[in-house]
Amino acid sequence: MNLISVNCGIPRQVVWHGMNVTTAIFKEPVEGRVALRKLNLDGDRQADLKVHGGAEKAVYCYPVEHYDYWKAELGRELPLGMFGENFTIDGLLEDDIHIGDRFSIGSAEVVVTQPRLPCYKLGVRFESDEMVKRFLAARRTGFYLAVTREGEVGAGDEIKMLDRVSNTLPLPWILRLYIAKEYNDDDIASVQQALKVPALPENWKQYFRDRLHVSTP
């Protein structure tokens, strides 16, 4: 498991459907080693801090393996960082990830907090209103990290697993539970299990609590 590329960007203004949109989804690879801090990488910023960035979404990771899929789907070449990811990674797919998994990257340590739920700005980046729907349907979402120890990272760093907490859930399960229209008994049990995972952000837990209130008598 390796870090292929470290990608950073700052907010810029673009025109989308005749409106000015401020977004930092345009990320590009950077050279050398970069300081990874609690809220983001040095040289990287987010445009709307209400929904992007913050301690629980300090870093967004996207597997390089998905690029071939999207190149075939979209019929075009895609530069690294195209999905707005900070880390383009190799050898670590969503099916291998559990909420709460801890990793070291360079001299930093991180923990997996949540899958990505894309906003319309992914469509802005790809110049396609359909991209958000296609992204979720493909279940190739990538995932966010919180920083538990600040350090320096750079392309080529090994990603090492440090720990997996007990009774956690695989990343795809969390995503499926989030977007499911209805819950069966097994789903309700899985949600109740997810609520016990310390690394799952509070806004996700509140969403699931609200869903359980609707789904249970």
| Among 120, 136, 163, residue at a domain's last position | 163
Q: What pLDDT is stored for residue 146 in this prediction?
A: 97
Q: What pLDDT is stored for residue 50 in this prediction?
A: 63
Q: Are 72 and 22 in a shared domain?
A: yes
Q: Are 159 and 175 in a shared domain?
A: no
Torsion 54-49-96-78 (CA) sign: negative
Q: Are 84 and 187 in a shared domain?
A: no
Q: Are 38 and 89 in a shared domain?
A: yes
Q: Are 44 and 9 in a shared domain?
A: yes
Domain span at residue 195 reads 171-215
Q: Are 136 and 33 in a shared domain?
A: yes
Q: What pLDDT is stored for residue 68 in this prediction?
A: 97
**Model-level pTM greater than 0.75?**
yes
Counted domains in the chain: 2
pLDDT tens per residue across span 14-45:
999 999 999 999 999 999 999 999 999 999 98
Q: Are 150 and 181 in a shared domain?
A: no
Q: Is the pLDDT of residue 167 over 90?
A: no
CATH of the domain at 154: 2.40.33.20
Q: Are 138 and 197 in a shared domain?
A: no
Q: Are 153 and 187 in a shared domain?
A: no
Q: Note whether 146 and 60 are within 8 A (CB).
A: no
Tokens 């899985």 appear where? 190
Q: Are 155 and 180 in a shared domain?
A: no
Q: Are 75 and 118 in a shared domain?
A: yes
Of 55-64, 96-105, 131-140, 164-173, the range with the lowest mean pLDDT is 164-173
Q: Is the pLDDT of residue 73 over 80?
A: yes
Q: Are 97 and 203 in a shared domain?
A: no
Q: Is the pLDDT of residue 216 over 60?
A: no
Higher-pLDDT residue of 50 and 140 is: 140
Q: What pLDDT is stored for residue 203 in this prediction?
A: 94
